[in-house]
Structure 1
Amino acid sequence: MSIFLLTKKTKFFAPVNGKLEALSEVADSNIANGKMGVGYAVEPTDGAVYSPVNGEVTSLFPTHHALGLKVGALEILLNLGVDTAELNGMPFKMQVKVGDQVTPETQLATMDLQQIKTAGKATTVSVLIFNAADKLDNFKCSAAKDVTAGALVGKGAER
């Protein structure tokens, strides 16, 4: 039997409706230069935020600007906007709690895009795989395009 048959494939989905982008396009240098892991971003057209994976909610930031997710051995951060922690949770409404099992059909949160823009912040939603260097091989993501929340946009082989 081939070892490749035993490798778990992880699928990644668009967390919001909008324009899929490479992380290098995100207006946060720590995200854009890969310091926070590999992944992808979507510039949202509306505020409904869904899970980018079939997994479990592992953390909710007190400022509601980010959620931690786990799928297999992969640790994922879903970051809502750029520098939005400074807004102290005002534009976000969480709809899940730690321990919830989620799918790409699960709405995690709602973002008030206008409130974020009025505060002078970018609304970009980033999906960051923190431990990809140790736990993920062959991560592939679709090229920039318009996406619908729940659309398959990437795959990788979990080690």
Structure 2
Amino acid sequence: MNEKGERLMFGLFHKKEQKALELGAPVSGQAVPLQEVSDPTFGGEILGKGVAVRPTDGRIYAPADGEITLLFDTLHALSMTTDTGAELLLHIGLDTVALKGAHFKAHVKTGDKVRKGDLLLEADLKAIREAGYDVITPMIVCNTDHFAEVKAVTGAEVTPQDTVLILTSK
């Protein structure tokens, strides 16, 4: 029986409550749809759904509580798994792997536990732009298929911890 006194057969007609996880902006700037990223791997959602930020500041923060699963040697990107199981890729700029770590400073390492809002990386956006690179910063949910919905919150200036992605569990 449910709260209305209705009999439920094996729970078949009981609607499962969907839980949402809100991910904060990894950097201050303009939140934009992933499709605005000129790199087809990101813009075409090949790695998964997500959001991008056109950064105004080079400080990159944890969008949720979790663990750093990989900090690239070149410091241009990192992956993390949130405490709720979302596998995220944060990629600072496009083709910035070619900088081989120049203009980046890490504040975390692989295996570190982080809390939402912790400083992860710093990037010298001016130097990166002067070197000829786009600094747009995609945040991808690599295990998109584990969620019923991945919704980007775009069209606004954001600061770290402002919600930019809402993940609804299956």
The answer, yes or no, to whether TM exceeds 0.5 is: yes
Structure 1 position 100, deviation (Å): 1.6
Aligned partners of 1:139 and 1:154 also within 8 Å: yes
Hey, what does 1:101 align to over in structure 2? 113
Answering whether residue 136 of structure 2 is matched by residue 129 of structure 1, we say: no
- 1: CA distance between counterparts of 2:153 and 2:94? 22
Structure 2 residues not aligned, in runs of 5+: 3-13
TM-score (norm 1): 0.92
Structure 1 range deviating more: 96-105 or 14-23: 96-105
- Per the TM alignment, residue 131 of structure 1 is displaced from its structure 2 partner at its CA by 1.2
- Which TM-score applies when normalising by structure 2? 0.86
CA distance in 1, matches of 2:115, 2:164: 14
Partner Cα separation in structure 2 for residue 20 and residue 74 of structure 1? 20
Name the SS for the 2:35 alignment partner.
helix
Structure 1 residue 40 and structure 2 residue 51: aligned? yes
Letter in 2 for 1:50: Y
Secondary structure of 1:30's counterpart equals helix
Alignment check: 8 A CA contact 1:92 1:111 kept: yes
Greater strand share, structure number: 1
Bigger mean CA offset, 91-100 vs 80-89: 91-100
- 2:153 and 2:70 mapped to 1: Cα distance? 27
How many angstroms does 1:8 deviate by?
4.2
| Stretch of structure 1 that moved more, 99-108 or 88-97 | 99-108
> Which residue does 2:76 correspond to in 1?
65
- Counterpart amino acid of 1:70? T
How big is each residue's C-alpha offset from its partner over 1:22-68, in whole Å with a ceiling of 9 and x where there is no partner? 01001211100111110000011011110122211110111111101
Q: Which amino acid aligns with 1:103?
A: R
- CA RMSD in angstroms comes to 1.5
Contact 2:64 2:117 in 1 (8 A): no
* Alpha-carbon distance, 1:103 to partner: 2.4
Q: Percent identity?
A: 34
| Counterparts of residues 3-152 of structure 1 (less than 5 Å) | 4-5=16-17, 7-71=18-82, 72-133=84-145, 135-152=146-163
Superposed structure 1 runs of 4+ greater than 2 Å apart? 1-5
Q: Is the 8 A contact 2:53 2:137 kept in 1?
A: yes
Letter in 2 for 1:112: D
Say if 2:29 and 2:54, in contact at 8 Å, map to a contact too: yes
